[in-house]
Amino acid sequence: MADILVAEVQDLRAGYGEIQVLWGIDLAVPAGEITALIGSNGAGKTTLMRALSGLIPAQCTRYRTDGVDLAGATAAQIIAQGIVHVPEGRRLFGAMSVEDNLLMGAYSRNIRRADLRRDLDRVYSTFPKLRERRGQAAATLSGGEQQMCAIGRGLMAAPRLLMIDELSLGLSPLLVEQLVAALRELNSQGMSILLVEQDVTVALELCHSAYVMDMGRIVRTGQGHQLLADPIIRDAYLGVP
Ligand code: ATP
């Protein structure tokens, strides 16, 4: 499984108008694994996820998923290939119910009602809280439940790679633990995950491998447990020698 790359990028450059943010990113995300992106504020992690989702224009010499060429593809084409982005800040439709938000994730899929129901049930079994609250407006959910709903909406798009930006931002340690457990479960069922996470300990304990970004470049990469023990990483991101 690990030989298959669910996302493979070479020399990716992107930014906002005249401002270049990413300066030649090489990334290989193995299928079936959790890969983390860490780095200080402004390092370019969100920008990289936006570029991979086709939300901002990017140049690269290669962008592929499992052999399929995605260089220059639109956001819709990228989602159709199963690269699905759960954005920072969750971006739910606050006035709509939890279930309608989840169904929005499947909007572009042409599937039968029974399959939609089966996928909803899968999301509800991963996040039982969402089943309890399925008729409630999304805006009335707690922060952790909103994150569950945003991830659930991503799952409804049938991802091959689920990209989650800022999993734990603003959430209590208990909720973070629940979300981490849910991601481990999804991964054990085969889901590939690319995670941006500002809590470096959470990220490195959860992931198989990680990329460290600084000023729009990848400056280090390795297995999670190796980076967790790396004195440079500990000093720079964990505040301990
Ligand atoms: P954070 O953890 O703070 O979200 P990040 O690593 O995700 O950081 P990005 O949000 O990708 O970093 O930001 C990288 C750089 O791009 C920063 O210098 C930021 O100011 C700039 N930037 C981000 N969004 C925009 C935008 N819409 N227009 C112009 N510059 C932007």
* Cβ(50) – ligand 1 distance below 6 Å: no
7-37 pLDDT, tens digit per residue, is 999 999 999 999 999 999 999 999 999 999 9
Using a pLDDT cut of 90, give the percent of the chain over it. 85
* Cβ(40) – ligand 1 distance below 6 Å: no
What are all long-range contacts of 46-49, with beta carbons under 8 Å and residues at least 24 apart? 46/88, 46/165, 46/166, 46/196, 47/14, 47/15, 47/16, 47/21, 47/22, 47/216, 48/12, 48/14, 48/22, 48/213, 49/85, 49/87, 49/163, 49/165, 49/194, 49/196
- Point out the ligand 1 atom lying closest to the alpha carbon of residue 50: 11
Q: Is 42 left (phi over 0), alpha (psi -120 to 50) or beta?
A: left
pLDDT of residue 2 exceeding 70: no
- In this predicted complex, what is the ipTM? 0.95
**Distance, CA 203 to ligand 1 centroid (Å)?**
20
* Cβ(107) – ligand 1 distance below 6 Å: no
* Cβ(200) – ligand 1 distance below 6 Å: no
Other residues' Cβ atoms within 10 Å of the Cβ of residue 95: 9
Q: How confident is the model at residue 236 (pLDDT cuts 50, 70, 90)?
A: confident
Using a pLDDT cut of 70, give the percent of the chain over it. 98
pLDDT given for residue 237 in this prediction: 83
Structure tokens at 85: 């982005």
pTM: 0.94
User: What's the alpha-carbon Rg for the chain, to the nearest Å?
Assistant: 17
pLDDT given for residue 182 in this prediction: 95
pLDDT of residue 209 exceeding 60: yes
Least confident window among 33-37, 156-160, 235-239: 235-239
Instruction: Round the average pLDDT of the chain to a whole number and report it.
Output: 93
